[in-house]
Amino acid sequence: MDRKAALLNSEPSPPEYETFLSHAGKQLEAEEIRQVQEKDAARTAAGKSIIAMSSGLPNAQGFPIIEADFRLRDGSVLHLDEEQMNIASNYGPTAGYVPLREWLLKLQKQEHQPPQLTRPNHPEGFKLAVTAGAFDGLRSFIYCLMDKEDSIILEDEVYCSVTSMVKLHGSAVPISHDDKGVLVDDLEELMSTWPQKYPDRPRPKALYAITAGNNPRGYNWTEDRMVDIYLLCRKHNLLIIEDGAYYFMQFGQVRNTVK
């Protein structure tokens, strides 16, 4: 069995994610109005006729746009009818439009085959949320993760806005790389010697990386490097924030990534 197969067949204990949360992140709770909306939706699905006064949804009769056509580059036309436009114009679930989330979950299962979705009785769950773009997702993640004394490890050449975002909440720790990804020995040294070098600072909470189409250098991590870094992060209890914005934009016959 090769290293990748051994890794995929292993059963690591799920991390205690609550221990990674910032003070602000620990205070977040589901909004009561959203919980009421879910109960109303369940009653409606059960065939009950209700007049919901809880959610403050605007009357669809007041929406100015009734339907729309979007003409695509290939000449096809995407049509939204009145019912679809009413859904698009109104408030929706916090985690995102349900049919879109279901489609994205199928894509994750088909393309990346995470063991949480493909292996029966996996000890860890899998959840997906839709955000208003990559940086909205990154900002929300960092907000829930970092206090001022915390840090995140970044490749020493990284998109400048990521560094700025991290520094708004804590500090960025640079790590060296080559054209195959983050250097394994450097990450091991950083994490194993951290308590001696920085006794008054908590260990970094996460490693941020663009593994496909690094910005600004453009390189792709190799499969072996991904496995090595993943094992190191598991060893040192580091979360991995993988920015996969360019995953489907690689050139060549074989997409270079680990499922």
User: Is the predicted pLDDT of residue 148 greater than 70, yes or no?
Assistant: yes
Q: Is 161 exposed, middle or buried (0-12, 13-18, 19+ CB in 10 A)?
A: exposed
Concatenating the DSSP letter of every residue in 114-166 gives -HHHHSTT-SS-------SSHHHHHHHHHHHH--TT-EEEEESS--HHHHHHH
Domains contained in the chain, CATH given: 3-28+131-249 (3.40.640.10)
CB count within 10 Å of CB 1 equals: 8
pLDDT tens by residue, 56-81:
778 889 999 999 999 999 999 999 99
Pick 216 or 41 by higher pLDDT: 216
Biggest CA–CA distance in the chain, Å, is 65
User: Is the predicted pLDDT of residue 1 greater than 60, yes or no?
Assistant: no
Pick 225 or 246 by higher pLDDT: 225
Distances (CA, A) of 38 to 20, 54, 90, 91, 94: 28, 11, 16, 13, 11
User: Is the predicted pLDDT of residue 256 greater than 60, yes or no?
Assistant: no
User: Is the predicted pLDDT of residue 8 greater than 80, yes or no?
Assistant: no
* pLDDT above 70: percentage of residues in the chain: 90
Q: What is the mean pLDDT of residues 197-221?
A: 91
The per-residue pLDDT for 128 is 85
Q: Which residues contact 46 (CB under 8 A, 6 or more apart)?
A: none
User: Is the predicted pLDDT of residue 257 greater than 60, yes or no?
Assistant: no
Q: Which residues contact 152 (CB under 8 A, 6 or more apart)?
A: 142, 145, 146, 166, 170, 171, 172, 173, 204, 205, 206, 207, 208, 241
Query: Where residue 254 falls among pLDDT bands split at 50, 70, 90?
Result: low
31-35, 115-119, 176-180: which has the highest mean pLDDT?
A: 176-180
Q: Is 200 exposed, middle or buried (0-12, 13-18, 19+ CB in 10 A)?
A: exposed
